[in-house]
Amino acid sequence: MFALPLTEDVELRPLEPWRAEEFLAHLDRAREHIRPWVSPSFVATELPSARAVLQRYADRWADDAGGIWGLWWRGTLVGGVMLVSFDVALGVCEVGCWVEPAAQGRGIVAPAVRTIVDWAVRERGIHRVEWRTNARNARSRALAGRLGLRLDGTLRQLYPSPDGRIDLEVWSVLADEWLAPPSAPAPTVH
């Protein structure tokens, strides 16, 4: 077991199948908040389906094709980050995240996303990191921008939903952009 401290109150830990009960309790608190933004197969409603979600990601991790980590805030699982897909041969991965309402706006997701993107780029040689989000998810779009990803475009009306078809935005950052030193602010002209 390991935990990576991200802040004084937040730890990033593997979210493994044996944590299914804790994951389900978290989803019970988060379900309605995240349901519009995540795949229906992610929003488990009972212990077997929660275990199945975590097992899918454990299998992806074992196959070098993805992974999932939880965010514990003051000892409680409140969200997480994931490599939805991960292809070293192509040098492309997709990163994602979710958080329950009580943890929203606390600045805990961005450091976790930075951690897994940095690992993917520096350690595994990923060239392109993608972020895919429902175009109506303003928080997700804002986080992608704060992390330095750029909007590549919108896949219009890609998926059906109860509220009509969903436009999916694709954001990305390339390895050289991720690794570039932060640019200095432009000088102020008086």
Q: What type of residue is 160? A: P
pLDDT of residue 189: 64
What the block records as the tokens of 121 is 């780029």
pLDDT of residue 181: 80
pLDDT of residue 159: 84
What the block records as the tokens of 82 is 């994931």
* pLDDT tens-place values along the chain, 190 residues long: 588 999 899 999 999 999 999 999 999 999 888 887 887 777 888 999 999 999 999 999 999 999 999 999 999 999 999 999 999 999 999 999 999 999 998 999 999 999 999 999 999 999 999 999 999 999 999 999 999 999 999 999 998 887 889 899 999 999 999 999 876 565 666 6
Q: Where are the beta strands (DSSP E) in the chain?
A: 4-5, 10-14, 67-73, 76-87, 92-99, 128-134, 150-159, 166-174
How many C-alpha atoms does 22 have within 13 Å on its Cβ side?
A: 16
Render 32-71 in DSSP notation, one character per residue: HHHTTTS-GGGS--SHHHHHHHHHHHHHHHHTTS-EEEEE
pLDDT of residue 82: 96
pLDDT of residue 33: 83
Residue 78 to residues 43, 70, 82, 127, 132, Cα–Cα distance (Å): 14, 8, 14, 30, 21
| Contact call for residues 144 and 130 (beta carbons, < 8 A) | no
**Domains by residue range for the chain, with CATH:** 4-179 (3.40.630.30)
Task: Give dist(CA 136, CA 157) in Å, integer.
Answer: 12
